Chains A and B, each alone.
Chain A
Amino acid sequence: GEEVAQTPKHLVRGEGQKAKLYCAPIKGHSYVFWYQQVLKNEFKFLISFQNENVFDETGMPKERFSAKCLPNSPCSLEIQATKLEDSAVYFCASSQNARTGREQYFGPGTRLTVT
């Protein structure tokens, strides 16, 4: 598609429950990035993929967060045993070629509320 698609738009989970978010990058884009935005403020980088391979996972809290990008499937970000502090908007972005240094195209985000 011509836009980055993210589902669901909103997700509500009780503390301790699992949350799974999906992202379909723009067709032809090789790179996918996940960011967490808390309270409309700073963005925290989580993880990026080059096709189905992890490109950079330096921002990932690995004990509860995991992510995948499999061929012919939307990418996913999963949070096991959610905590209140995971409440945030999770943005997915895609980029055609990281090395050109050009912009990343952002999806509309998934708002996760942990109660």
Chain B
Amino acid sequence: DIQMTQSPSTLSASVGDRVTITCRASQSVSSWLAWYQQKPGKAPKLLIYKASTLETGVPSRFSGSGSGTEFTLTISSLQPDDFATYYCQQYDTFTTFGQGTKVEIK
């Protein structure tokens, strides 16, 4: 199985901050990586797929980069609606999720 490791597990930030979350794969997943945002009691929402493609309707302050084993999700200017938990997902071989990164208010 491909293991996905996110860092940090928790991130404290303020509105307007630039935020970066990292996701590392235990072996190469090429660019077959997606990012999701989840708020309490809700289903995850797709933000980015194929490592860097923004899903339709997702604000442009979200961006993704990377390939192979290391990926990043960046929020260029954190907004109040962005406080949530973020997950990466590899889909090169079946599917595996990262353990999540909670973005909380500083």
Q: Indicate whether A and B interact.
A: no
Residues of A within 8 A of B (CB): none
